Structure formats: structure tokens, C-alpha cells
């Protein structure tokens, strides 16, 4: 996501960054304090403010088919493809139709379908091919009645199955509407927009800023916002605070095209005097574009800050010391070149969950099949991440229970019948969870340290065999931690590893401790020895806060994961791999979908 992805999202209690150089090093409660982060200590605020949290990447889908059935007696079929996306209610929404290819059983359609790839949700696609009757060849394809055309076959897949292929291409076998195998295959190719890879590195400084402090100098920071007609300025970047300085030089920032749009989109640059109360005082502002900032760099001239109050009083100047356009590798570049997300699960079996046999227990297995909160979290996250794990063998642990061996364990295999911590598939996790409930005795206390250390050990061991694996630990808990400092220490150590930690809070406990572990306030965790986490690797979501809302627990959990993945890869200069020569073996369609809504 780049190096300038910070937002003052929680009342401005502290500006992001501040460590080293001329930046402030005070604490959050200090006037002018900047926290202890590094140059990339930030969260991507643009998507938050726009209601578009998570990774959205526009894709173009192109299509070709082979060995289609011939439905015409005197010639060949005239195929057209219709593309659908399946909604949560299983309703199919049409997202595009190709042109009609005349007299062909091997069509390569020119018309593409456009779709936004969203990492944090499953996006099932359905493809249906029709032989268009000669009578309708001059009819616009959008108005064709599909019920009047011959059906050649259908197939389906999840969008993530396409983008995880080296070639971004997936070949699928066609089936009948009842799921029976038919002659022919469909190949789907996904192409990411080149604009999503563009980024700009800049170094900025100011001269002669107006002083807002009585007994010292201002503590300035910059906020850059994208100006959107319908919703006003949307913050996309904030620099660190520079203490007691009217001529500040900030650390380099990176803005991506996903943030600023085109080089001619209007941006608002504001300079504030930091206040620990969050009531930052505006020094001055001006409107610009990326293209105009590039002109400032080339001409070595400055842009004037003015007040918002209309009197156009000069408040200082901004200069661009460095401007460099670059192409950044995207999340999909890594995933499609063989990088994996390896899913791991840890389940809280402490006594505070309640007796699993009682309906009020958080671990109660409902005979009706309705999943409890633990099952919902496992299913939801697992169904998304399973497509990014090649062997789909997932380490699964429990903690806080008395195990069959007769002692309380804070890290035991969820499958207690084996010495192997791995289970096969999401179904394997669910099965092991259900059986473990009745083979252990709920106990306590609630300790996270041993689980995090175990996950970190696996992540560390993987580095001996390459750097193409990134691990994701899902921890589901109902209670208050009793090892908060040990947990902080474990997280700080793990921040150097290819690991992210997702925490789901279930039940009605006080989860303030968990919010401390989540670095969304802009301040990185500090260990008991004073070491600062190299990056934010924790995302915490209390299930009660999102139930009934517009976004799911899974979306809330996973929205930061691509950014954490990229932060790790970029900080170590790890590049995507080159694609192999062949990667397009036909795949059977995973499911049969209902007919489209007429």
C-alpha cells in the first residue's frame, strides 16, 4: 500500500510516525509527540473514509472456449457467453455478455467483463454459453432473450481461483444445467489494470510556516486528501509530526494510484499544528494535483499555503524535493506468482465460555445445524483463505483446557487424536473442533503467548525453504487476557516474520486489551524490553460490533491483510516470481448454480 497510508482516524490522539531524524520522539500524550513508528508506520485511510475498506482491484476478464457442442445442422454454433456473479442470497446477477461469434466451436471473444476483485470476500462466478439463433444475429446482445437460445453449457468458479493461477488463466469443463459433464471447455483470463500498479514517491518540506504556539514553535504535519465531488475531501495520507520546527522536512511518502486516481484529480494539502487532544490547528492549505506537484519539483518552486478563512493570508510554502514515479508490485502479482497465504486457527477453550452442553454456552453445538460464533469465524475466514493455500492443510490448536493427558494446556492440537497439528480443509477444522469439545475440560486462564509463539515458530521455520509463504493466524476468544505483556512481547517478536494475527472476540466480555494489540491507533506495540514492533500485524474484531451490520466479521478481519502482506514483502525487497510456461489444466466446476433470474 505504500509508505504514506496514515489517517487521523481516532480523534487525532497522535500523529503517525515521529521516530528518528528531525521528527518528534515524545509519547502520545505529549504536545508534539509523534509516537514511535517508522517511515511506513501507517494505515490506509482512503478506503476507510470512502466506505471501501480492504483491497479493491479492477480486473478485466477475457474468455475463450474450445470443442463446444455443435447445435446447428448445416453450419456450426454461434456462441455467446453470459457472465454472472452470485450474491449472498444465491441470486445470480448478470455482469456482462460477450459478442456473438458466428459459425465457431472454438470462439475467442473480444468483449471483456469488468469486475472489482475483493480479497476479503468469496466471489462466485457463473458462466453460461448459448448458441444464438440466426434470427437474432442483428439483435443487440443485451436485449436477447436467453430462453429462446440453445444452451451449450455452463461452468463456475470463484474469482480467487483465477487470480491465484500463475497465468491468471483458468480452464473449466462445461456442464449441463443439472451438473452432468458436457463437451467443451471455457478458459477465463483475468488482467489487472496497469493503473493499480502506479505509485509516486515524494519528499516534502516547508519554509516559513506561521507559528501557532505562544512559548515555542509549531509542531507541523501534513495531511493530503483526495477531493471527491460527492463526499468532499477524503484523507489518503498523513506525515509524521516534526516537533518545534517552522521549516520541517518530512520523511519520504508514497502515494498509490488507487489513492489519488489520475494525476489530474484534485488533492487538498493541509498543514496542521499537532495537539495531543486531537484538536489540531490548521496552519494553511492549498489545492493541487499530482501533476502540479511534479511541476513544483521540476521548477524547484514552492506552493503557497493560505488560510481557509477567505482572507488569502500567506501561511508558508511547500516544496517538493523528490518526485519519482514507479511501478509497484500488487498483491495479485505476488499471489499469481506462487506466493501462498497459509491459514492457522487457535480456539479458546477456557471455562468462561460456559459448559458446551448448555444452550447458553458460546461453544454450544446447535442440533439444528446453526453454527455458533466459533464455527462462524472458522467457516467465514477459512472459506476465503483456503484458495490461497495450495495443500489446504491447516494447523489448528486449542488453548486453555485440560486435555486428555491430564493437565491444562495453552497450546494443544485441535485434533487431539494425533500428534500432527494439521487438519485437511476447513471441514477438517470444523470436525476437529466439534470432537475436541467433548474430549477436553474447559479450564483457564486465557493465554495468547504460547499460541502466537507456536505460529511464529512455524513462520520462522518456513524461511529456511524460501520466502513465498505468508502465515495468517486466526485466534477466537471470549475473554480477558491474563498474559497481556507476554502477548505483546510475542507479537513484537513476530512482527519480523511473515505472519499476521486475526483476533475475533466472541461474547460480551470487555475487549479493551485486544484493541491495544491492534495497532490501528497509529502507535506500534512496545515490548517489555522497549523494542518497537517493526509493523502492525494484528487485526481485532469483536463479533458483536459487526453482527447485523453491512459488512461481515470476515470482511472486517481481512481488510488489512493484503496491506500487511505487502508491507512485509516490500520491506524485505521480496519480488514476485516469474511465471512458469504452463499453468492451465482444465478444472471441474465446483458447484451447480440456480438458473439466472429472468
Residues of the chain predicted below pLDDT 50: 1-54, 549-550, 581-585, 588-598
State residue 155's pLDDT score.
98
- Which DSSP string do the residues of 319-371 spell out, in sequence order? EEEEEEEEEPPPHHHHHHTT-EEEEEEEEE-BGGG--TTSTTSTT---TT---
The set of long-range contacts for 270-273, using a CB threshold of 8 Å and a minimum separation of 24, is 270/222, 270/223, 270/224, 270/225, 271/206, 271/209, 271/220, 271/221, 271/222, 271/305, 271/315, 271/316, 271/318, 272/220, 272/221, 272/222, 272/223, 273/212, 273/213, 273/218, 273/219, 273/220
Question: Where do the H-state alpha helices sit in 51-185?
Answer: 159-163
Instruction: Report how far apart, in Å, the C-alpha atoms of 231 and of each of 45, 50, 161, 168, 225 are.
Output: 15, 8, 35, 35, 12
pLDDT in tens, 35-65: 333 332 333 333 333 333 346 688 999 999 9
Distance, in Å, from the CA atom of 240 to the CA atom of 230, rounded to the nearest integer, reads 29
Model pLDDT, residue 547: 55
Q: Which domains are present in the chain?
A: 45-53+198-327 (2.60.40.150), 56-194+581-587 (2.60.40.150), 340-571 (3.40.50.410)
- pLDDT reported for residue 411: 97
Strand order in the sheet with 401-402: 408-409, 401-402, 441-442
Joined grid coordinates for residue 33? 509527540
Neighbouring residues of 523: CB distance < 8 A, sequence distance ≥ 6: 14, 28, 35, 36, 37
What is the distance between the alpha carbons of residues 428 and 426, in angstroms, rounded to a whole number? 5
pLDDT computed for residue 309 by the predictor: 64
Q: How far is CA 241 from CA 17, 30, 273, 304, 583, in A?
A: 7, 12, 9, 20, 49
Q: DSSP letters of 15-48?
A: -S-B-STTS----TTSTT---SB-TT----HHHH
Angle, helices 484-494 vs 449-462, to 10°: value is: 10
Query: Do residues 176 and 146 lie in contact, with contact meaning Cβ atoms separated by under 8 Å?
Result: no
Q: Please tell me the predicted confidence (pLDDT) of residue 519.
A: 64
Amino acid at each position: 500500500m505504500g509508505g504514506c497510508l496514515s489517517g487521523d482516524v481516532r480523534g487525532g490522539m497522535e500523529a503517525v510516525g515521529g521516530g528518528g531524524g528531525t521528527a518528534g520522539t515524545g509519547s502520545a500524550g505529549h504536545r508534539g509527540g509523534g509516537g514511535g513508528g517508522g517511515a511506513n508506520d501507517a494505515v490506509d485511510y482512503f478506503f476507510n473514509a470512502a466506505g471501501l475498506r480492504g483491497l479493491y482491484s479492477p480486473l478485466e476478464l477475457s474468455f475463450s472456449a474450445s470443442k463446444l457442442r455443435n447445435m446447428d445442422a448445416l453450419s456450426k454454433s454461434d456462441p455467446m457467453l453470459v457472465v454472472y456473479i452470485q450474491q449472498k442470497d444465491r441470486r445470480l446477477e448478470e455482469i456482462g455478455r460477450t459478442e456473438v461469434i458466428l459459425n465457431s466451436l472454438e470462439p475467442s471473444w473480444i468483449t471483456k467483463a469488468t469486475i472489482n476483485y475483493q480479497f476479503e470476500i468469496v466471489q462466485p462466478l457463473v458462466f453460461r454459453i448459448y448458441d444464438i439463433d440466426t434470427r437474432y444475429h442483428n439483435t443487440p446482445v443485451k436485449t436477447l432473450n436467453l430462453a429462446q437460445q440453445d444452451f451449450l453449457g455452463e461452468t463456475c468458479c470463484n474469482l480467487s481461483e483465477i487470480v491465484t493461477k500463475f497465468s491468471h488463466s483458468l480452464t473449466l469443463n462445461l456442464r449441463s444445467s443439472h451438473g452432468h459433464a458436457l463437451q467443451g471447455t471455457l478458459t477465463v483470463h483475468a488482467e489487472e489494470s496497469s493503473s493499480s500498479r502506479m505509485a509516486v514517491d515524494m519528499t516534502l518540506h516547508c519554509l516559513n510556516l506561521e507559528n501557532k504556539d505562544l512559548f515555542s514553535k509549531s509542531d507541523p504535519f501534513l495531511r493530503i486528501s483526495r477531493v471527491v465531488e460527492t463526499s468532499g475531501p477524503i484523507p489518503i495520507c498523513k506525515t509524521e509530526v516534526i516537533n518545534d520546527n517552522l521549516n520541517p522536512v518530512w520523511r519520504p511518502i508514497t502515494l498509490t494510484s488507487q489513492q489519488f486516481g489520475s494525476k489530474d484529480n484534485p488533492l487538498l494539502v493541509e498543514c496542521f499544528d499537532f495537539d495531543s487532544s486531537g484538536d489540531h490547528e490548521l496552519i494553511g492549505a492549498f489545492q493541487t494535483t499530482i501533476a502540479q506537484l511534479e511541476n513544483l519539483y521540476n521548477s524547484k518552486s514552492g506552493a503557497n499555503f493560505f488560510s481557509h478563512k477567505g482572507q488569502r493570508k500567506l501561511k508558508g510554502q511547500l516544496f517538493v524535493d523528490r518526485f519519482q514515479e514507479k511501478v509497484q508490485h500488487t498483491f495479485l502479482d505476488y499471489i499469481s506468482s506462487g506466493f501462498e497465504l497459509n491459514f492457522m486457527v487457535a480456539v479458546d477453550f477456557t471455562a468462561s465460555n460456559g459448559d458446551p452442553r448448555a444452550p447458553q454456552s458460546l461453544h454450544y453445538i446447535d442440533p439444528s445445524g446453526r453454527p455458533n460464533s466459533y464455527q462462524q469465524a472458522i467457516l467465514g475466514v477459512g472459506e476465503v483463505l483456503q484458495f490461497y493455500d495450495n495443500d489446504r492443510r491447516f494447523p489448528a490448536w486449542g488453548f486453555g483446557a485440560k486435555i486428555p493427558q491430564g493437565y491444562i494446556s495453552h497450546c494443544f492440537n485441535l485434533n487431539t487424536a494425533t500428534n500432527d497439528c494439521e487438519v485437511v480443509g476447513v471441514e477438517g477444522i470444523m470436525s476437529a473442533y466439534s470432537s475436541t469439545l467433548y474430549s477436553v475440560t474447559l479450564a483457564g486462564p486465557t493465554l495468547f503467548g504460547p499460541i502466537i509463539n507456536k505460529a511464529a515458530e512455524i513462520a520462522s521455520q518456513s524461511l529456511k525453504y524460501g520466502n513465498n509463504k505468508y502465515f495468517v493466524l486466526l485466534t477466537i476468544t471470549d475473554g480477558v487476557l491474563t498474559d497481556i505483556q507476554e502477548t505483546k512481547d510475542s507479537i513484537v517478536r513476530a512482527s519480523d516474520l511473515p505472519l499476521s494475527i486475526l483476533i475475533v472476540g466472541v461474547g460480551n466480555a470487555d475487549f479493551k486489551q485486544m484493541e491495544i494489540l491492534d495497532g490501528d491507533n497509529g502507535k506500534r506495540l512496545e515490548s517489555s524490553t522497549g523494542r518497537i514492533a517493526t509493523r502492525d500485524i494484528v487485526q481485532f474484531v469483536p463479533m458483536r460490533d459487526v453482527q447485523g451490520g453491512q459488512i461481515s466479521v470476515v470482511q472486517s478481519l481481512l481488510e488489512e491483510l493484503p496491506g500487511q502482506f505487502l508491507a512485509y514483502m516490500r520491506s524485505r525487497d521480496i519480488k514476485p516470481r516469474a511465471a512458469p510456461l504452463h499453468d492451465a489444466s482444465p478444472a471441474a466446476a465446483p458447484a451447480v448454480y440456480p438458473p439466472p433470474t429472468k
